[in-house]
Amino acid sequence: MTHPLLDLTPLTPAHFAAVERRVAALLDTEQDVVIMQGEALLPLEGCVRGGARPGSTALNVVTGPYGRTFGNWLRECGATVVDLQVPFHGAATAEQVERALAEHPEIDFVSLVHAEAATGNTNPVAEIGEVVRAHGALFMLDAVASVAAEPLLPDAWGVDLCVIGAQKAMGGPAGVSAVSVSARAWERLAANPGAPRRSYLSLLDWKERWIDTGRAALPHAPAQLEMLALDACLERIEEEGLATRMAAHASAASATRSGALALGGGIEPYVYSARDAAPVATTLRTPTGIDAAALVADALAADPSVPLIAGGGALAKEMIRVNHYGSDATQRAVRSSLAALGAALRAAGADIDPAAAEKAVSDSWPAIAS
Ligand SMILES: *Cc1c(COP(=O)(O)O)cnc(C)c1O
């Protein structure tokens, strides 16, 4: 008896290349797209270790936990790191980046996270890209949490290395990821003696052994199931329409934000301004005296299907994340999340208004979406 997950015909190089072209179309990019055979931290680390070297100076914009990770990798590579730390309740601005670049003209690498699922903010990449391009530094963007949730245009924005993963708004697998690589980035990596080579982290290996040889033979056995899932998820987005997918995330974010405010009980959007709030996930701040991790545990005990999680690390005390992405970018997921949170808040003694929250969700959802 054949098994649908096990007895597969091998994934051909032509099929692999076709998935790359689908990713390129999703990103509206003319650059090379490399699909990496692991979760998105793989290309992110590959990009940092390929782009940074002793003697280089990197501007690392920190708007959440991933920025901190990039800073640590950059330092390990011997780069001097200028950290631009922005409060998690806001976003970085192009002016801040411009000022940092003016203060440190030697900066030759900029790392930025587009949207942060972990803190719920999103950064104005188009404007930041403009000042980075004017300065001439290599620009790396972590777009794992923004792709398919909000506009992402690496070529138009001057992004040299744009990393995506499929596991958030794309509603796809976590075990493969992709990066678009500009000609400038390839030159920079090739000129870096410390850039990973003959390594799982190496983008240059993929260039030499796959792209430059006409994509005729795969260098390793591909992660076949994950590649098939990525292909299926790209096909589904094409059928649904990327704009529709993004609109669902935008609606989920604004409905969660206004629904939480209407719910009351002292719960507030964690990100102060709606403009800085990421469409992929909404973070909420618990009222003083109510522990977010305990509140989320109560809500999940009542309804295990809701996409709620407490913030990571120290944020677990005060931050709730509503992960309304992928298959949860729906009115139903937002409603049930707010209902479960409301019940947990009431049990904790808070005065809440579930009907007002319901109404706020309906009012902020365009009639066409479900
Ligand atoms: C989710 C996410 C990733 C991927 O990391 P995981 O910890 O595997 O989920 C990378 N960058 C950002 C900004 C993300 O939100």
Question: Does one domain contain both 165 and 281?
Answer: no
65 and 175 together in one domain:
yes
pTM for the model stands at: 0.97
Q: Which residues of 300-309 are buried (b: 16+ CB within 10 A; e: fewer)?
A: beeeeebbbb
d(CA 200, ligand 1 centre) in Å: 19
**Would the CB of 23 count as within 6 Å of ligand 1?**
no
222 and 270 belong to one structural domain: no
The verdict on residue 223 lying in a domain is yes
Residue 370 confidence (pLDDT): 46
Check pocket membership of 45 for ligand 1, CB cut-off 6 A.
no
| Phi and psi torsions of 172, nearest 5° | -115, -160
Burial label for 349, CB within 10 Å (0-12, 13-18, 19+), is exposed
Domain identity same for 233 and 247: no
For residue 145, report the distance from its CA to the centre of ligand 1, in Å.
7
- Cβ atoms within 10 Å, residue 249: 25
User: What is the per-residue pLDDT for 364?
Assistant: 87
Q: Are residues 168 and 259 in the same domain?
A: no
Residues 194 and 250 in one domain: no
pLDDT digits (tens, 9 = 90+) for 234-257: 999 999 999 999 999 999 999 999
Domain holding 331: CATH number?
3.90.1150.10
Q: What per-residue confidence (pLDDT) applies to 1?
A: 84
Rounded Cα gap, residues 368 and 370, in angstroms: 7
In a domain, 6, yes or no: no
Task: Determine, yes or no, domain membership for 4.
Answer: no
Distance between CA atoms of residues 303 and 297, nearest Å: 10
**Top mutation candidate among 45, 116, 142 for ligand 1, by most atoms within 8 Å of CB:** 142
Distance CA 166, CA 326 (A): 9
pLDDT at 368: 52
Does ligand 1 have an atom closer than 6 angstroms to the CB of 66?
A: yes
33 in contact with ligand 1, CB cutoff 6 A: no
Which of 240, 268, 293 finishes a domain?
Answer: 240
For residue 242, how far is its CA from the centre of ligand 1 (angstroms)? Answer: 21
* 217 in the same domain as 256: no
Final residue of a domain: which of 195, 223, 240? 240
pLDDT < 50: residue spans in the chain = 369-370
Structural domain including 83 reads 13-240
Atom of ligand 1 nearest to the CA of 145: 15
What is the 128 CA–ligand 1 centroid distance (Å)? 21
Structural domain ending residue among the three candidates 213, 240, 267:
240
Name the residue among 370, 357, 166 with its Cα closest to residue 252.
370
Residues 175 and 261 in one domain: no
- Residue whose CA lies nearest to ligand 1 atom number 11: 144
Residues 186 and 215 in one domain: yes
What CATH number corresponds to the domain at position 88? 3.40.640.10
Q: Are residues 227 and 309 in the same domain?
A: no
What type of residue is 305?
Answer: S
Count of CB atoms situated within 10 Å of the CB of 76:
12
Rounded Cα gap, residues 142 and 164, in angstroms:
7
**Do residue 218 and residue 351 come from a single domain?**
no
pLDDT tens sequence across 282-292: 999 999 999 99
Number of domains in the chain: 2
CA separation for the pair 277, 269 (Å, rounded)? 9
Q: Note whether 238 and 185 are within 8 A (CB).
A: no
C-beta 348 within 6 A of ligand 1: no
Cα 4 to ligand 1 centroid, rounded to whole Å? 29
Contacts of 335 (CB under 8 A, 6+ apart): 259, 358, 361
Say whether both 157 and 30 belong to one domain. Answer: yes
Is residue 165 lining ligand 1, measured as CB closer than 6 Å?
A: yes
Smallest CA-to-CA distance from 110 within 58, 41, 74, 151 is with 58
